[in-house]
Chain A
């Protein structure tokens, strides 16, 4: 099956890959753990595009390069659907672990307890802990049609909502489109997803979730299906 989209990211891209399979959409999948992205196992070089450190990340990347016939995977001209750099698990444990609450953009409700974090601080904190991924996203957005997909909204935690908003804003500033399937499904900016959309771990999306996300991207022509491929599917 000819590839129609590149899927790049962490464990949150699994459901997107399953969604493509369900819809009969050809894809290549470059996937590593969130930790690998956080630790800088990937980087971006102007001539070579995405690069990876030796080990499983490079092995997978090399295989995709060979399949595409390009040393720079973005030269294939495929749209890129990605999910990495949100690092919500790490960020949430760092912040909520000591009882912090991020102040909403409009000042939000007044926290009655705990320690509040300003938006300016939180932005710089995210930048400091996620700078490498943001650099990759900026470079990828310059050479591809890049859509960053927000991980499923598993709960109503206000810090999570603030992080997602803040990171999404940053990714858009860097030139990427950002798509939040949870908002599309719940038709609400805050309401968490019904558990039926999530895997047993309560964090990652199921295949059905990925299918809905990918279908929406096809409907919005983010993934432009070739006629023959669509008919075959």
Chain B
């Protein structure tokens, strides 16, 4: 019998030897960065809330995390956190959609455009419609809001120029826009701040072509700002809290993540300076049995974050060693996995397993 190309494949290319017979903490060749990065590489981190974990992991490992909008020296940690300092590389707040990322890129290149973004006044305080929760009690005036927004736009630009790698976590395809001005919002107006206006505030569920087009444009601008910058994409494994689509939230979440995952994969294939890190698969796929989610099956548990970060740093080849904390997590996860058994479904694709030489 003539050997097929599958006969040459490594063990990790087959489900049985790559996944089924492996503990989730022991996947071989799970991810390896396309790029050779110096140990002194500088990373900026943005995107949806999962990106915050990457910021924290970089800081904890004392790697080069760009903080272009620092709190003053001696700021107590709780105060810095309340005002969203050191969460991302500048105080953009969560950037859930690629359309939002494009807005920040435009503002970074021309901070004077910050003035055309809406500011919401409520009970004598002023809120930035691009980041309504950036200050716990809002700003004191419209002028202060604009000054702070422009400052963040400048810092956002600085972080891009100072980075070797721009890490962006794709969060959602669902978002809200202003029908008249086209402005995008991170949240539906009225949910945290602002007032919902049914006439002007319209729901958008960005499609694959729209997300792809936006991300192509974003990468182009990033390269204009920093020709050497590399873009590392991840998809947030954190599920949607709610959907405005006509679908059940589970289905809507699957659509959203699928679009983002596809765009990220295609971008990584198409561009040498774009890569994709599969934290989404690691945490959300079936072999992990939902172990890395909190009880609500939406938020990611600390163990999941730590494991994703371990694979991330291993794949970066920056010489990070597995520490005792990670060993303890492994032991905990092993124990949980042993208690569960998954049934294999009949599947034609399983026929490929016959070619597995391992």
A binds B: yes
Which residues of A are interface residues toward B (Cβ below 8 A)? 93-95, 97-98, 100, 103, 105-108, 110-111, 113-121, 124-125, 128-129
Q: Pick the contact of B137 from A120, A125, A129 — CB < 8 Å?
A: A120
* Cβ–Cβ < 8 Å partners of B75 in chain A: 125, 128
B140 touches A94 (CB 8 A): no
CA distance A27 to B214 in the complex (A): 72
Q: Which residue of A lies closest to B141 (CB)?
A: A107
Of B82, B144, B146, B154, which contacts A119 at CB under 8 A? B144
Q: Given the complex, which residues of A lie within 8 Å of B147, measured CB to CB?
A: 103, 107-108, 110-111, 116
Q: Which residues of A contact B71 (CB under 8 A)?
A: 125
Per-residue contact bits, chain B 71-87, to A (CB 8 Å; 1 contact, 0 not): 11111100100110000
- The contact sample of 22 A-B pairs, CB cut-off 8 A, is A94-B73, A95-B72, A97-B72, A103-B143, A105-B140, A107-B141, A107-B146, A110-B143, A110-B146, A110-B147, A111-B147, A111-B150, A115-B69, A116-B147, A117-B72, A119-B144, A120-B136, A120-B139, A121-B79, A121-B83, A121-B135, A128-B75
- CB–CB B73/A98 < 8 A: yes
New A-B contacts (16) at CB < 8 Å, excluding given A107-B141, A110-B147, A120-B139: A94-B72, A95-B73, A97-B72, A98-B72, A103-B143, A103-B147, A107-B143, A107-B144, A115-B154, A116-B150, A117-B72, A119-B140, A121-B135, A128-B76, A128-B79, A129-B74
Q: Give 3 nearest A-B pairs by CB, closest first.
A: A107-B143, A94-B73, A116-B151
Q: Which of B42-86 touch A at CB < 8 Å? A: 69-76, 79, 82-83
With a CB–CB cut-off of 8 A, which chain B residues contact A98?
70, 72-73
Task: Tell me the bound Cα distance from A120 to B74 in angstroms.
Answer: 17
Q: In the complex, what's the smallest C-beta–C-beta distance from B2 to chain A, in angstroms?
A: 66
Q: Looking at chain B, what size class is its interface with the partner chain?
A: 20 to 34
- Find chain B residues with CB under 8 A from A129 CB: 74
The reply to whether the CB of B273 lies closer than 8 angstroms to some CB of chain A is no
Q: Find B140's partner among A114, A117, A120, A125 (CB 8 Å cutoff).
A: A120
The smallest beta-carbon distance between A230 and chain B, in angstroms, is 46
Q: How far is the CA of A107 from the CA of B148 in the complex (A)?
A: 10
User: Which residues of A lie under 8 Å from residue B69 when comparing CB positions?
Assistant: 115
B155 adjacent to chain A (CB < 8 Å):
yes
| Most chain B CB atoms below 10 A, which of A93, A105, A118 | A118
User: Does B142 belong to the interface (CB within 8 Å)?
Assistant: yes
Check A125–B143 contact: CB distance below 8 A: no
Residues of chain A lying within 8 A (CB to CB) of residue B148: 103, 116, 118
Chain B residues with Cβ below 8 Å from A97 are 72-73
Which B107-162 residues sit within 8 Å CB-CB of chain A? 135-144, 146-148, 150-151, 154-155
B72 to chain A, nearest CB (A): 5
B135 engages A120 (CB within 8 Å): yes
For the complex, what is the distance from the CA of A163 to the CA of B143, rounded to whole Å? 19
Residue of B nearest to A122 (CB): B72
Asked if B76 and A107 sit within 8 Å, CB to CB, the answer is no
Q: Give Cα A111–Cα B114 distance, bound, in whole angstroms.
A: 13
Given the contacts A114-B151, A125-B72, A107 and B83 also touching, CB distance less than 8 Å: no
Q: Which residues of B contact A115 (CB under 8 A)?
A: 69-70, 151, 154-155
- Residue on B with the closest CB to A95? B72
Residue numbers in B under 8 Å from A121 (CB-CB): 79, 83, 135
Q: Closest Cβ of chain A: how far from B151's Cβ, in Å?
A: 4
Cα separation A128 to B79 with both chains bound (whole Å)? 8
Rounded to whole angstroms, the CA-CA distance of A93 and B74 in the bound complex is 10
Contact between chains at A108 and B143 (CB < 8 Å): yes
- A128 and B78 CA atoms in complex are apart in Å by 10
In Å, the complex CA distance between A125 and B75 comes to 7
Distance in angstroms between the alpha carbons of A95 and B147 in the assembled complex = 17
Find out whether the CB atom of A93 lies under 8 angstroms from the CB atom of B73: yes
State in angstroms the CA–CA spacing of A89 and B141 once bound together.
28
CA distance A226 to B144 in the complex (A): 49
Chain B: CB-nearest residue to A116: B151
CA of A111 to CA of B144 in the docked complex: distance in angstroms?
11
Known: A115-B155, A121-B83. A107 touches B142 (CB 8 A): yes
Partner of B150, one of A93, A110, A119: A110
B121 to chain A, nearest CB (A): 14
Minimum CB–CB distance from B152 to chain A (whole Å) comes to 8
With a cutoff of 8 Å between Cβ atoms, the chain A residues found around residue B135 in the complex are: 118, 120-121
Contacts of A111 in B (CB 8 A): 147, 150-151
Given contacts A94-B74, A115-B70, A118-B135, contact A125 B79 (CB under 8 A): yes
List the B residue with the shortest CB-CB distance to A129. Answer: B74
CA separation between A121 and B147, bound complex, in Å?
14
CA–CA, A118 and B149, complex, Å: 11
Question: How long is the Cα–Cα vector from A120 to B128 in the complex, in angstroms?
Answer: 14
| Known contacts A94-B74, A125-B75; A103/B144 CB under 8 A | yes
Identify the closest chain B residue to A91 (Cβ).
B72
Bound CA span A20–B145, Å: 46
* B241-291 interface with A by 8 A CB criterion: none
Write the nearest CB–CB distance from A95 to chain B, whole angstroms. Answer: 5
Q: Are A118 and B79 in contact (CB-based, < 8 A)?
A: no
- Report whether A113 and B154 are in contact in the complex, using a CB–CB cutoff of 8 Å: yes
Name the CB-closest residue of B to A93: B73
- Nearest-neighbor residue (CB-CB) of A117 within chain B: B72
Residues on B with beta carbons closer than 8 Å to the beta carbon of A120: 135-140
